[in-house]
Structure 1
């Protein structure tokens, strides 16, 4: 029994580490590990509150690190890639909808990194960034862990539960992306959005 508790401790550390690294390098399969953590919590192998705490803390820490890196020096690198016209557009968009973008960016593929880099680059005020980041981290963590937890209740095998959670996550992301593109297409008078 003590060995299982030790493995559980490493699982929380792994979830935390993958989520922090995923904010900086979005190719890491952090979402899958988080859904698996939820499934393992449903099965009784992990504690749900600890999985959620590890996820929320890691997401907030990783996004804040990315934001600060862009704010403190990454802007010089981004200046080479971002045209002056786009810089102004990014700044204006953040002024109008910055908090909503920060909170929702976590739900968009590669959005979390793009938003953290853009807010750092544009020197988005920390007093607006941090609260929105915490809200987004909490909502996204509950969503991802919840997918695995619900899957764990429907299927006794954690791998099947995690795969179900990943499939549902992709489906939700796909539907929302298509809805967003359709709305943009209608707004632009029928022009095709790419």
Structure 2
């Protein structure tokens, strides 16, 4: 990380989007730890890693846009360490939640990458996609970079708690979805004329 600098951390995160087996839960805290040692500034690494997240996501968005669903799935099926089911689940989540799927998806491992594909396939406008991706990625990156920054030599502990953070985000999204469905059902019942 010291050799690569903060642009290298951004490049690593861009590659993490394109090749999900590279774990951002390791890259980001390590970047934070390196920033704490004074190799580069914490704000600098946050800017570069968020830019890296955006670049990787835009590449996948444009591929989804250009290739369409069937061709993208055929490509994903041939990739090592990547499962087509993950893309299919990301598609289903995107179909249900749209903008929220892109924003919150940036904070869920594996979905971080895969949510870009259905957004492209479904022709989500690029400016909106970029805004949602930047916002969600900035939050995710900040949490992990600052954790590594403050934990110092124990930066690797962050990976242990990444799963807990993932469950919290999923719980919030599920809770919001239940609230939304409940509100819709109640509104529909209230709009139905009584006989």
TM norm structure 1: 0.72
Aligned residue number for residue 188 of structure 2? none
Q: 1:180, CA displacement in angstroms? A: 6.3
Give the alignment's Cα RMSD to 1 decimal. 3.3
- Work out the CA distance in 2 between the residues paired with 1:126 and 1:48: 28
Q: Given the alignment, which residue of 25, 36, 46 partners 1:31?
A: 25
Q: Which runs of 5+ in 2 are unaligned?
A: 75-83, 179-195
Aligned residue number for residue 63 of structure 2? 69
Question: Is the 2:94–2:101 Cα contact (8 Å) retained in structure 1?
Answer: no
User: Could you give the per-residue CA deviations for residues 89-133 of structure 1, whole angstroms, max 9, x where no partner exists?
Assistant: 66752xxx3222111101112111221011011111223212111
Q: 1:58 aligned to 2:81?
A: no
Aligned residue number for residue 131 of structure 2? 131
Q: Given the alignment, which residue of 169, 173, 182 partners 2:166?
A: 173
- Work out the CA distance in 1 between the residues paired with 2:34 and 2:13: 17
Residue 47 and residue 20 in structure 1: after superposition, are their counterparts in 2 closer, same or farther (change >3 A)?
same
Question: Is the 1:68–1:120 Cα contact (8 Å) retained in structure 2?
Answer: yes
Residue 140 and residue 175 in structure 1: after superposition, are their counterparts in 2 closer, same or farther (change >3 A)?
closer
Q: 1:175, CA displacement in angstroms? A: 4.5
- Work out the CA distance in 2 between the residues paired with 1:28 and 1:79: 20
Q: Which runs of 5+ in 1 are unaligned?
A: 1-6, 186-194
Question: Is the 1:91–1:122 Cα contact (8 Å) retained in structure 2?
Answer: no
Residue 44 and residue 75 in structure 1: after superposition, are their counterparts in 2 closer, same or farther (change >3 A)?
same
Q: Any residues of structure 2 matched to 1:1-194 within 5 Å, and which?
A: 8=2, 10-78=4-72, 92-93=95-96, 97-152=97-152, 157=153, 160=154, 162-177=155-170
Q: How many residues are aligned here?
A: 169
